[in-house]
Structure 1
C-alpha cells in the first residue's frame, strides 16, 4: 500500500511552495564534495523553500551509473541535512526516479527507506515504450511512494504526452502532483486540461517546471470545464532547476504571487514586472542559445561565483559552459536587482553553511 503524505505535507503541497532541484557538488577530481553538497542544502533550507528535489536532472542522471554509485550517498546526505535543519515545519522531500519499471521501483524503495515523501517520475530514456507502459510504471512506483508526474521537455530527453495521458495519470490514486516542464504553452495547457478531466483532478497539485515561463505560469488562472462543471486551477508552486540559483529571490517571488492570488493588485503587478527578468536569467543559466548544452554547468557557474561551489565540474567531462555563456551570466547578474540581492544574503551566511 502506498505510503501517504502526512496531512501537513499534503496541505503544503496543495497550497503551493518553492522546490529547487538540488545540484551535485563535485571537486576537481570529479569526486563527490560532501562539504559543499551540505552547504547547498543548508542554503536552500535557510532561503525558506518548502521542499527539495534530489536525484533529478539538475543532480545529474549519471549518479545512477554503477561506476559512479552516487544515488544513495546523494539522497542520504540530503535527508540527513534536512533532519538536522528543517525542524518541525512541514517540508517536502522529493526524490527523482528514472529508468524502466524495475529500476524506478527500486529507486522509490530506496527513497522511502531514506525518509522521502514522494517521487518525481522521469519519462526520460523510454522513447521506445508506449503510454500504457509509462502509466503502468507510474502505478508500480506509486505502490511505494506518492507520485509526482513529470512532463519533460524534448530538448533534454522528454516526449509528447497527450491530454488523455494526464487524465489517466491523475486517475491513479498515488498521483499527488504533476510537474509541467514541456517548455511549450500548448502542451502545458493540455496537461492542465487532462488533470481537470479526471474525477480526482482536484487531488492533484499543479507545479510548474517551465523554467522559461515561471511567473506567467504562477499567475495564470486556468478556467476549464471538468466532469462536474467549471473549475479554476492554478500552478501553485514550482519544482525547478532554475530555483537552484537565486533561491531566496524565488521564495520572495512566490510570496508575491500568493498575495496576488489573494487579490493584491500591487503584488500582481510587481510579480508580473519580474517575468522578463526571470526568463532572461533562465536563458543565460540554461544556455538556451545552444539548445541547453550548458544547462548544468550554467547552474554550477552561478553557484561558483557566489562561493557555494568550488568549480563547475560535471560527471561528464564533456559538459561545461558554452561559448559566450559566461558573458551572458555576467550580463544578467549585473542587470537585475532581484539577482544582485542574493549575493549579500549568501555572503553573510556562507562560512556557516560550509563549516
Structure 2
C-alpha cells in the first residue's frame, strides 16, 4: 500500500475538508516552448501569497502534454520545491494523474515520492472502457495515493459517468474528494447522488470545477433523499483552472461565499455574482470557440500581468482564438472588482527574483 488518507498531516486533511481555493497550476514556457523555470517559480509564489489553500499540478491547465516531453516530474518537483521554500504554512498539494493504469500508477508513485497529498485522476485515456474496468483502474491507483475524483467535461476529453459509477467510486476507501467539472447540472447531480448513495459524505469533500457555475456550486445546498431521509451535501472549495488567474480575488470570493452560507440566507447580491464570474470565465475559457483557447486564455491574463512572457502552449496548435483577446479586454473593463492587477504589480518583481 502506498499513501493512505490516514497518513496525511491532520492540518492538510482539515484544509481539504474545510474547503479551500486550489488553482490549477499553468505551465510557464519561453518562446521556444521550453520550460521557463523562473516564471514557473513566480507563479507558485503568486498563488501562495494570494492565499491559495493548495496547488494542483500536472492537471489539464498544466497541459497533459507535459508527459510527452519529459516534464511531468520536473514540473511537479518545481511546485513542491518552490512552495516549500516560500511558505511554512500547510498547503493541499494535488498531483494530476493520467493515462492508463500502468502510467497512472507510476505517476502516483512519483507524486507520493515528491510529497504530494492526493492525486486528481483523469479518466480521459480510458475511453471505451467498461464501468467495471474504470473502477478497477481507480481502485488500483487508489492503492498508491489518496484520490480526488475528476469529472472532466466531455468537450475537452472527458467521458460521461453516471450516478452508479460515482456511487461505486465514492465507496473506494482512499478517495478524499471529487472535483466536479462536467459543466452540466444533470451530471453534477449524478456525482452528488452517487456520493450520497455511497454514504461517503463524511469522508469525501466536493470541489467545484464547474467554471460555468462556480458561485452557485459553492452556495447551493444539494439535498437528496436517502432511505426516506433528506441528506444535504455542499461544495466546500474549488479546484479550478479559472482560479489560476485573478487568484487573490478568487480566494477572497471563496471566503465571502463561505461566510454568506454560514450566515444564511444567501442575499441576492451574492447570487448575482454567479453571472458575472461566469461571464469572465467565458472570455478566459474561450467558450465562443468550444474551449479551444481555454489554456491560452488563462496564459493571456497572466501575460498581461507580467507573470508569463507569452501564451505559448506545448501544442503549437493551441493558442488564443480570433476575438478572444477582445473578449478578455471586455471583462477586464466590466469587472475590475475581480482583478488582482494591483496586488500582482506590487509583488511581481519579488516573485520573479
TM over 0.5: yes
> Which residues of structure 1 form unaligned runs of 5+?
none
Contact 1:198/1:227 (<8 A) preserved: no
Aligned residues of 1:154 and 1:182 also touching (Cα < 8 A)? yes
Structure 2: distance between partners of 1:200 and 1:343: 40
* 1:334/1:76 CA distance change after superposition, 3 Å: same
After TM superposition, give the deviation of residue 228 of structure 1 in Å: 8.2
TM-score (normalised: structure 2): 0.97
Distance 2:197 2:150 in 1: 17
In structure 1, distance between residues paired with 2:180 and 2:226: 19
Aligned to 2:290: 291
2:25 to 22, 25, 29: 22
Please provide the CA RMSD for this pair: 1.3
TM-score (ref. length: structure 1): 0.96
Q: 1:221–1:233: 8 Å Cα contact kept in structure 2?
A: yes
**Contact 2:201–2:233 (CA<8 Å) still a contact in 1?**
no
Map of 1:252-267 to 2, 5 A cutoff?
Answer: 252-265=252-265
User: What secondary structure is seen at the aligned counterpart in 1 of 2:124?
Assistant: coil
Change (3 A) 1:12 1:104: same
Following the alignment from structure 2 to structure 1, what is the Cα–Cα distance between the partners of residues 281 and 301? 11
Task: Name the SS for the 2:11 alignment partner.
Answer: helix
Question: Which residue in the other structure is 1:35 paired with?
Answer: 38
State whether residues 25 and 36 of structure 1, in contact with CA within 8 Å, keep that contact through their aligned partners in structure 2. yes
Paired with 1:268 and 1:11, the residues of 2 have a C-alpha distance of 28
| Aligned positions of 1:270-289 closer than 5 A | 270-289=269-288
Deviates more, 1:268-277 or 1:9-18: 268-277
Residue 29 of structure 2 is aligned to residue 13 of structure 1? no
The secondary structure found in structure 2 opposite 1:224 is: strand
**Gap runs ≥5 in structure 2:** none
SS in 2 for 1:202: coil
1:193 maps to 193
3-state SS in 2 of match to 1:36: helix
Q: Distance in 2 between matches of 1:84 and 1:106?
A: 26
Q: Report deviation, 1:227.
A: 5.1
Does the 8 Å CA contact 1:196/1:202 hold for their aligned counterparts? no
CA distance in 1, matches of 2:228, 2:118: 29
Measure, in 2, the Cα distance between the counterparts of 1:279 and 1:208. 13
Distance 1:232 1:268 in 2: 20
Q: 2:51: which partner in 1? A: 48
Alignment partners' CA distance in 1, 2:267 and 2:13: 26
Q: How many pairs were matched up?
A: 350
Question: Which residue number corresponds to residue 352 of structure 2?
Answer: 354
Q: Which secondary structure state, in structure 2, belongs to the residue aligned with residue 353 of structure 1?
A: helix
1:69 aligned onto 2:70: yes
Mapped contact 1:124–1:158 kept (Cα < 8 A): yes
